[in-house]
C-alpha cells in the first residue's frame, strides 16, 4: 500500500466520531479476569484497523462510598455490535466524561467500576472473574449467625476443651500410678488397678494381722488347694499367739510382668525379713501375689485328731498364711510335745516340725503301763505251756527235758517288776497312735520235769522273757501286743 493511501486511512479513522459512555454511569471497566479488551472497528475494504495498545496498569483509587450506593456500570459494548437487552441509561453530556480512575467533577460522585488488573498481576483477594460482586451486580449481605447457633458453637468448644483436659488428666494419672511401682513406701488398700506390688504386699500382711482371710485370699493369684486353715478364726488365734506388726517394704524389683517385694515385719516379737513374688498376668496393672501361702506337713500326726489354732486339721500338707500356729490334739491319751507353737515366716515354704512330736499324755502313759502290767500279770499267772506275753514254752526243751502242761510256775523277778513300773512308751512314726514300750526282761520259771527217765522240779535258766509291748492308744478296746 502506498504512503498516500495510508495517510488517507488515518485521516478517515481520526475523523470518526468518539463514542461516549452512557449518561449517569462511570467509565466502564473491562471484565475481571480477562485482558483489557481492545475496541473493535468496522472493517473497511483494503484498510487495516489501528493496533490496540493496552493501557498501563493503574491501581484503583480509593473513593469513600456515597449515599445512596448505585450499582456499578455495566461495560458498554461498541456501537458496531448489537446492544444487550438491558435498560438504557441516559447519556451524559459530551465532554463530561473523564478518564477512568479520575473522579468526576461536574456530577455527584459515583463508585467507580473496579479497574481490571493486568493478566500478569495477581488477583485482588475477594474478587472473582466477574468483578468484586459477580456478573449480576451487588450480592445480598451475608446473614449473621443467630444467638442459638453462637451459643451452640461456644458450648461445643467448651466441651472439646473439657475432653482434652480429661484425656490429659487420665494420661497423667496412669503415668503417676505406674511411677508408684518404684516407691516402696507407697501405701494404699485393696487390689485395684494401679496399685504397686509394694501396696499389694502391705495390704496382704495387714489383712492377716486383722484376721481378714477373705481379703488376703483375694490378693493371691491362685486359689488354695485346701482352705481348712485359711479362715478368720484361725487368723484371729494366730494374732493372739503372735500378731504381724510394723510392716515395712524394704525393696521392690519389677521386671516384665513380675515383681519381687522384700518386706520386714514383726511376728510374735521376732523380726522377719522375707520376699514375696508377684505377677501381673494380663499386664493390666493388677498385681497378684504368686504364692503367699506356706505348708504344714501334718502327716506325722495322722489319727491323733490334731487341731491347728483350735481348728481340726487332718492331712499331710495343709496350706496356711504366714503367722503363728499352735498344734494340739483332742485325744486325751496324747499330747503334742516339743515345739507345739510353730511360727511360719516365709510364704511358699514348709513349717519345720523336727522339734515337734506327739506323745502319750500322762493319763495315756499311765493307761499304757496299766494295760501292760495287767497283760504281764495274766501271762505270768498262767500255768499252761502257752501263756502269752512271749512266755510260751514247748513240751520238750532243747536238751530233751519234758514238761507237763498245767504245771508251769512263772514269777517276776524284782528288776523286771521295777522295769514294768517305770515303763516308757514312744509313738510309732508310721502309726502315731501306737504306743511302744521298751524291752521288759526275763522271768523265773519252775515246772515238774522228766529227763533221762528221772523226774523232778526243774528251773529254767534261759527261759522266755517279756519283750516289747505296744498298744494302740486310740482304739476303743486297746490291746497289748508283744514283739
Mean pLDDT: which of 36-40, 42-46, 162-166, 258-262 is highest?
Answer: 258-262
Which pLDDT belongs to residue 195? 85
What is the distance between the alpha carbons of residues 467 and 257, in angstroms, rounded to a whole number? Answer: 65
CA 368 from chain center: how many Å? 60
Same domain, 172 and 208: no
Angle at which helices 197-209 and 232-242 cross, to 10°: 80
382-398 confidence digits (pLDDT tens): 999 999 999 999 999 98
Instruction: Find the CATH number of the domain harbouring 280.
Output: 3.10.450.50
Query: Nearest 5°: CA angle at 481, between 479 and 483?
Result: 170
Same domain, 297 and 392: no
Same domain, 346 and 459: no
Q: Cell for 274?
A: 522375707
Which pLDDT belongs to residue 164? 73
Which pLDDT belongs to residue 234? 96
Q: Identify whether 277 is part of a domain.
A: yes
Q: Identify whether 411 is part of a domain.
A: yes
Q: Cell for 441?
A: 526282761
Boundary of a domain, candidates 330, 360, 390:
360
Instruction: Tell me the three state secondary structure of residue 411.
Output: strand
Nearest to 348 by CA among 259, 278, 433, 442: 278
Same domain, 233 and 327: yes
Stretch among 175-189, 192-206, 207-221, 306-320 having the lowest mean pLDDT: 175-189
Same domain, 207 and 337: yes
Boundary of a domain, candidates 311, 343, 360:
360
Q: Identify whether 323 is part of a domain.
A: yes
Same domain, 441 and 331: no
Q: Identify whether 48 is part of a domain.
A: no
Which pLDDT belongs to residue 167? 52
268-292 in b/e form (b: 16+ CB < 10 A) is beeebebebbbbbeeeeeebbbbbb
User: Could you tell me what percent of the chain has a pLDDT over 90?
Assistant: 49
280-339 confidence digits (pLDDT tens): 988 888 999 998 999 999 988 999 999 999 999 988 889 999 999 999 999 999 999 999
109-143 confidence digits (pLDDT tens): 444 434 444 444 444 444 444 444 444 445 555 55
Domain coverage including residue 287: 197-360
CA distances from 410 to 318, 333, 469 (A): 52, 32, 19
Q: Identify whether 88 is part of a domain.
A: no
Same domain, 351 and 388: no
Q: Identify whether 11 is part of a domain.
A: no
Instruction: Tell me the three state secondary structure of residue 332.
Output: coil
What is the distance between the alpha carbons of residues 113 and 131, in angstroms, rounded to a whole number? Answer: 9
pTM tops 0.95: no
Instruction: Tell me the three state secondary structure of residue 271.
Output: strand
Task: Tell me which H or E stretch contains 215.
Answer: helix 213-218
What is the distance between the alpha carbons of residues 459 and 10, in angstroms, rounded to a whole number? Answer: 185
| Of residues 168 and 335, more confidently modeled | 335
Within 13 Å and on the Cβ side, how many CA atoms surround 305? 10
**Number of structural domains found in the chain:** 3
Which pLDDT belongs to residue 440? 95
What is the distance between the alpha carbons of residues 367 and 474, in angstroms, rounded to a whole number? Answer: 12
Q: Given a cut of 80, is residue 158 above it in pLDDT?
A: no
Same domain, 327 and 382: no
Q: Identify whether 311 is part of a domain.
A: yes
Same domain, 246 and 260: yes
Q: Cell for 215?
A: 481379703
Q: Cell for 463?
A: 527261759
| Of residues 73 and 310, more confidently modeled | 310
Same domain, 219 and 283: yes
Evaluate whether 449 touches 469 at the Cβ level (below 8 Å): no
Q: Identify whether 472 is part of a domain.
A: yes
Angle at which helices 362-381 and 414-421 cross, to 10°: 150
Same domain, 218 and 344: yes
Task: State the residue for C-alpha cell 514283739.
Answer: 483
What is the distance between the alpha carbons of residues 63 and 112, in angstroms, rounded to a whole number? Answer: 8
Sign for the CA dihedral angle at 445, 450, 451, 457 comes to: positive
Which pLDDT belongs to residue 12? 45
Same domain, 267 and 288: yes
What is the distance between the alpha carbons of residues 333 and 167, in angstroms, rounded to a whole number? Answer: 71
Q: Cell for 464?
A: 522266755
What is the distance between the alpha carbons of residues 23 and 94, in angstroms, rounded to a whole number? Answer: 9
Amino acid at each position: 500500500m502506498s504512503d498516500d493511501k495510508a495517510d488517507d486511512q488515518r485521516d478517515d479513522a481520526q475523523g470518526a466520531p468518539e463514542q461516549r459512555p452512557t449518561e449517569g454511569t462511570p467509565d466502564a471497566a473491562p471484565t475481571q479476569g480477562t485482558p483489557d479488551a481492545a475496541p473493535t472497528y468496522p472493517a473497511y475494504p483494503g484498510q487495516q484497523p489501528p493496533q490496540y495498545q493496552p493501557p498501563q496498569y493503574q491501581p484503583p483509587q480509593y473513593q469513600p462510598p456515597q449515599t445512596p450506593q448505585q450499582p456499578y456500570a455495566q461495560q458498554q459494548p461498541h456501537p458496531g455490535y448489537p446492544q444487550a437487552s438491558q435498560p438504557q441509561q441516559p447519556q451524559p453530556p459530551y465532554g463530561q466524561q473523564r478518564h477512568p480512575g479520575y473522579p468526576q467533577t461536574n456530577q455527584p460522585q459515583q463508585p467507580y467500576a473496579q479497574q481490571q488488573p493486568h493478566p500478569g498481576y495477581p488477583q485482588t483477594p475477594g474478587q472473582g472473574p466477574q468483578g468484586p460482586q459477580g456478573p449480576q451486580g451487588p450480592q445480598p449481605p451475608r446473614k449473621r449467625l443467630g444467638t442459638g447457633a453462637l451459643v451452640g458453637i461456644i458450648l461445643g468448644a467448651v466441651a472439646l476443651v473439657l475432653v482434652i483436659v480429661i484425656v490429659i488428666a487420665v494420661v497423667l494419672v496412669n503415668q503417676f500410678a505406674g511411677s508408684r511401682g518404684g516407691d516402696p513406701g507407697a501405701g494404699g488398700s485393696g487390689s485395684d488397678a494401679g496399685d504397686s506390688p509394694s501396696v499389694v504386699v502391705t495390704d496382704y500382711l495387714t489383712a492377716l494381722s486383722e484376721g481378714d482371710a477373705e481379703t488376703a485370699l483375694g490378693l493371691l493369684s491362685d486359689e488354695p488347694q485346701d482352705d481348712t486353715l485359711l479362715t478368720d478364726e484361725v487368723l484371729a488365734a494366730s494374732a493372739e499367739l503372735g500378731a504381724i506388726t510394723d510392716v515395712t517394704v524394704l525393696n521392690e524389683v519389677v521386671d516384665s510382668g513380675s515383681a519381687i517385694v522384700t518386706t520386714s515385719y514383726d511376728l510374735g516379737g521376732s523380726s522377719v525379713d522375707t520376699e514375696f513374688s508377684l505377677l501381673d498376668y494380663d499386664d493390666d496393672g493388677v498385681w497378684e501375689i504368686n504364692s503367699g501361702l506356706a505348708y504344714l506337713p501334718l502327716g506325722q500326726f495322722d489319727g491323733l485328731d490334731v487341731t491347728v489354732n483350735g481348728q481340726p486339721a487332718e492331712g499331710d500338707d495343709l496350706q496356711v498364711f504366714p503367722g503363728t500356729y499352735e498344734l494340739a490334739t483332742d485325744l486325751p491319751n496324747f499330747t503334742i510335745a516339743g515345739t507345739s507353737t510353730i511360727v511360719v515366716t516365709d510364704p511358699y515354704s514348709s513349717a519345720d516340725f523336727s522339734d515337734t512330736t506327739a506323745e502319750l499324755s500322762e493319763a495315756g502313759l499311765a493307761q499304757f503301763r496299766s494295760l501292760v502290767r495287767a497283760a504281764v500279770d495274766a501271762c505270768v499267772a498262767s500255768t499252761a505251756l502257752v501263756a502269752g506275753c512271749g512266755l510260751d514254752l514247748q513240751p520238750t526243751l532243747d536238751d530233751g527235758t519234758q514238761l507237763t502242761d498245767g504245771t508251769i510256775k512263772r514269777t517276776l523277778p524284782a528288776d523286771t517288776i521295777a522295769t514294768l513300773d517305770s515303763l516308757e512308751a514312744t509313738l510309732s512314726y508310721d502309726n502315731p497312735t501306737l504306743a511302744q514300750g521298751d524291752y521288759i526282761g526275763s522271768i523265773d520259771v519252775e515246772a515238774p520235769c522228766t529227763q533221762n527217765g528221772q523226774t523232778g522240779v526243774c528251773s529254767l535258766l534261759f527261759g522266755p522273757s517279756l519283750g516289747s509291748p505296744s498298744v494302740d492308744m486310740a482304739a476303743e478296746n486297746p490291746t497289748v501286743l508283744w514283739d
